[in-house]
Structure 1
Amino acid sequence: MQSSGSNPQLDKNTLRRQLLTQRQSMPVEQWRLFSQTLCQQLLDSSLWQQAQTVLAYMTFRQEPDLSWLFLQGQDRGWGLSRCVGQHLMWHRCNPLDPQILKKGKYGILEPYPDCPELSADEVDLILVPAVACDRKGYRLGYGGGYYDRLLSSPGWASIPTVGIVFERDLLEQLPTESWDQPLKAICTEKGLFSAKAVL
């Protein structure tokens, strides 16, 4: 489903800039509080409780910070991604261990290549970072297409996905394109809910 307007990509770029500016202007104390509240919403969800191995991300540009979730979920297996060419490579690692992380090409912390690799059949849940999400499960990312490529790949498409955004970045509808992959659920500091994708 495409948005009204002749150029969805232009709409996405404009919206991305606006939302990133707004998010990065959030007071630090509010960001920390909202992040911890969002983590608690995840902890209370059945998706989390049923998962043993969870893919996550290291916060960047004042995304919701998952550090509290990492602390509470030390009985889980964790995976973090590394950008390799046009794709994400996932590695099993402890996100609380700074010695196994380094800055990647986008300035985001990622695991060293010698951390054990994770395949799709080992993963129970994917926590997906976003600039914004909408109520149908569509996500506005950073423009690289990494998650859309991942989630359209065999084996990965069936794994539960949760878009992680603050409530202010949960929109009614985003401009979409044919390759956009809707997520199964969205989590904000206000709660976790199933997306209502129209396929």
Structure 2
Amino acid sequence: MITAVGRISNTAPLKRKFIKAVRRALRRSLTGYMKLSEKESLRERGRRIRKILPAKAFLSGQICERIMGWDLFVSPRRVMSYCAIDGEVDLGALNIAVPARELYLPAVVPDKSGLAIEPRRFFQGAVCVKGKFGIDEAPEGAPVIKPEELDLILVPGIMFSLAGGRIGFGHGYYDRFLASCAPAVKAGVCFEAQLGEDFEPDKDDVSMDFVITEKKIYEIVKRKEEGK
């Protein structure tokens, strides 16, 4: 009996280590699930907001006016905008009002990582074509620029935070593209109602330098502090 008890007591430390390891693994798994669940919840919330938000055309016009009067929009030579889909802020008025600049639109193309963004030059009067996901793009064969040569990128999204966080559709190609555009100013574009609480970014997420709504152009102070 004593021997048996001794054997049990000798294995107790191993059992405790095993239990601790299992608990750590469960915590890591749960944390990852909670992050995913939080982002999915915010993504769904953003979709609902865009769907029910009234006067989107009017608010989009206000945002276009705000951007066109912005110093950082007036000075850059190469600007990448986008064509709206699924209730996004419509920058159509802005896209036809930049004759003095080079305007680029994102085209979604196949890539070794799955999908990638190709910034194609859009010329006034050109006819856009439907690309992947039904998004209007500059036609194939249009001049393409290197990502690092862009000066300003207007970035769509489903939700943004005032810490510079962005939630998109979840495909990942926008963040991969933005990571290769280090010198460019990155400005998220959304309706004020799409601004949410801060959320934990994934390791591959790229923060915005500004977030632009119909009410205000928010400069992301956190990015400036990190660069000190």
Aligned to 2:212: 187
Which residue matches 1:78?
103
Q: Deviations over 1:23-73 (max 9, x none)?
A: 11223xx11111011111111211101112110110001111101212332
Gaps of 5+ in 2: 1-30
Contact 1:91 1:111 (C-alpha < 8 Å) held by counterparts = yes
Q: Which residue of 2 aligns with 1:144?
A: 171
Task: State how far apart, in whole Å, the 1-side matches of 2:148 and 2:164 are.
Answer: 23
Structure with higher helix content? 2
Contact 1:64 1:165 (8 Å CA) reproduced: yes
Which consecutive unaligned segments of at least 5 residues does structure 1 have? none
Within 1, Cα distance between the matches of 2:159 and 2:192? 9
CA contact (8 A) 1:140 1:174 kept: no
Distance 2:157 2:208 in 1: 11
Is 1:47 paired with 2:65? no
Three-state SS of the structure 1 residue aligned to 2:129 is strand
For 2:176 and 2:215, locate their aligned partners in 1 and report how far apart those are by CA, in whole Å: 29
Which residue number corresponds to residue 27 of structure 2?
none
Q: Does 1:38 align with 2:63?
A: yes
Q: 2:64 is aligned with what amino acid? A: C
Q: CA deviation at 1:15?
A: 1.7
Q: Name the counterpart of 1:14.
A: 41
SS for the counterpart of 2:132 is: coil
Aligned to 1:112: 139
Partner of 1:91: 120
For the residue of structure 1 that corresponds to 2:204, the secondary structure is: coil
Q: What is the CA–CA distance in structure 2 between the aligned matches of 1:31 and 1:193, rounded to whole Å? A: 20
Kindly indicate whether structure 1 or structure 2 has the higher relative contact order, using CA contacts under 8 Å at least 6 residues apart. Answer: 1
Given residue 21 of structure 1, which amino acid in structure 2 is its aligned partner?
R
Shift of 1:75: 2.2
The whole-number CA distance in structure 2 between the counterparts of 1:82 and 1:35 is: 22
Q: CA deviation at 1:87?
A: 0.9
Q: Does structure 2 retain, via aligned residues, the 8 Å contact 1:126–1:159?
A: yes
User: Is the Cα–Cα contact under 8 Å of residues 91 and 118 in structure 1 kept in the other structure?
Assistant: yes
For 1:127, the equivalent position in structure 2 comes to 154
Distance between the aligned counterparts of 1:43 and 1:147, measured in 2?
23
Asked if 1 retains the 8 angstrom alpha-carbon contact of 2:164 and 2:210, the reply is yes
Normalising by the residue count of structure 2, what TM-score does the alignment of the two structures yield?
A: 0.77
**Once superposed, what is the RMSD of the aligned Cα atoms?**
1.8
Divergent runs of 4+, >4 A: none
| Contact kept in structure 1, 2:151 and 2:183, CA below 8 Å | no
Provide the C-alpha distance between the structure 2 equivalents of 1:176 and 1:23, rounded to a whole number of angstroms.
22
The residue type equivalent to 1:110 in the other structure is: E
Q: How many residues align?
A: 190
Rg: which structure is higher? 2
Query: Out of 161, 173, 178, which is 2:198 matched to?
Result: 173
